[in-house]
Each structure stands twice: as structure tokens, then as C-alpha cells.
Amino acid sequence: MRPQVQAGKVKVIAITNNERAPVIKDVPTAREAGHPGLAIDGLVGLFGPKEMPKQLRDQIAADVMAAANDPDIAAKIGSTGQIVRPGGADEFAREIEVQSKVVSDSAAAAGVKRMLQN
């Protein structure tokens, strides 16, 4: 979206993250704009098999966190408008649960029904 925003073709009125994006500091969050129900952070993470050994999971998480904390990598990610907030596997799992509930509650409020597949 950034090229369209920079060209004046799109006006960003709010972002859904809980904090403002550094590259568009003048754009309020949905919460700040009066729409707290739209607040949901974007998540990026890695998934592996449930039976992955904890030691391997923790090592991968540590490697990803080290990369995300590298100033050059964080700057490149941040330049796309993303907010870099590296965390561990347990924190990621908790955030997925929280956001799943937000989306589920929003869908229920909108009357969206879950369709089960066989």
C-alpha cells in the first residue's frame, strides 16, 4: 500500500495495531480513532510440528529473536510499516489465542457462523 499512499491515491485513516507505526507516525491507531474493537496487531511467526523437541523450538526462537533484534534487519522490516516486537514461542502462542478470540468474537457479533468441513 505504501506506494499508493505516497502517490496520494490512498489515504490511511487508521492502523489496527495497538501502537503507531514509526514510518507513518501521523496515522492514529484504530483505538485512538475511536474504534477499539478494530485493534489487533499483525503477527508474523514460524510454526513447526507439535512434537518438535522443546530444545530445538527454543533454539529456533532464540535465533529468530536475535535476527529480529539486529538493527539492520529491524530497520528493513520497520521500513515496510511493520512493528518489530520479537518474542518467544510461548508469547507467540498466547498472542495467537488472544487474537483468535478477538476475531471469533467479532465474527459472532457480525453474525458469521462457522462452517465445518468433513
pLDDT band at 43 (very low <50, low <70, confident <90, very high): confident
Percent of the chain with pLDDT over 70: 97
Domain count, the chain: 2
**Within a domain: residue 27?**
yes
* 56 against 38, higher pLDDT: 56
Asked if residue 75 and residue 47 are part of one domain, the reply reads yes
Note the pLDDT of residue 114. 73
**Within a domain: residue 66?**
yes
Amino acid at 73: I
Residues 15-30 pLDDT 10s? 888 889 888 888 999 9
Which structural domain, as residue segments, surrounds residue 5? 1-40
Asked if residue 75 and residue 55 are part of one domain, the reply reads yes
**Within a domain: residue 28?**
yes
Note the pLDDT of residue 39. 85
Residues 59-70 pLDDT 10s? 998 999 999 899
Nearest to 41 by CA among 83, 13, 74: 83
Asked if residue 49 and residue 33 are part of one domain, the reply reads no
Nearest to 33 by CA among 49, 55, 56, 11: 11
Asked if residue 71 and residue 51 are part of one domain, the reply reads yes
Residues 99-112 pLDDT 10s? 888 888 888 888 88
Q: Are 19 and 78 in contact (CB under 8 A)?
A: no
Asked if residue 89 and residue 51 are part of one domain, the reply reads yes
Q: What is the pTM of this model?
A: 0.69
Q: What is the mean pLDDT of the chain?
A: 87
**Within a domain: residue 4?**
yes
**CA 26/CA 24 separation, integer angstroms:** 5
Asked if residue 3 and residue 48 are part of one domain, the reply reads no
**Within a domain: residue 118?**
no
**Within a domain: residue 3?**
yes
